[in-house]
Amino acid sequence: MKRMLYSEISCPKCNYSKLEEMPINNCQIVYFCEKCNERMTPEKGDCCVYCTYGTVPCPTIQENKNCCK
């Protein structure tokens, strides 16, 4: 299975969304909304912001590997 490297991340505060390229060698644990500057972090049980707020989980999870915690 080919990894998807882009995910549309959506802000839970203002609903703004943006297509972002995900890092492939580490998890992104903090993301700031471009519109309202909301600081987003993963929810409990998720390894990164893309797994919580994105349309596609991070590359590590896509490959069924241990998350990058």
* Separation of alpha carbons 6 and 25, rounded Å: 14
5-37 confidence digits (pLDDT tens): 999 999 999 999 999 999 988 889 999 999 999
Q: How many residues does the chain have?
A: 69
Spatial contact of 9 and 18, defined as CB atoms under 8 Å apart: yes
- Cα-Cα-Cα-Cα torsion 18, 24, 26, 27, nearest 10 degrees, comes to 30
The token pair at 34 is: 């471009």
pLDDT of residue 62: 87
Helix (H) or strand (E) holding 38, with range, is: none
Average pLDDT, the chain: 91
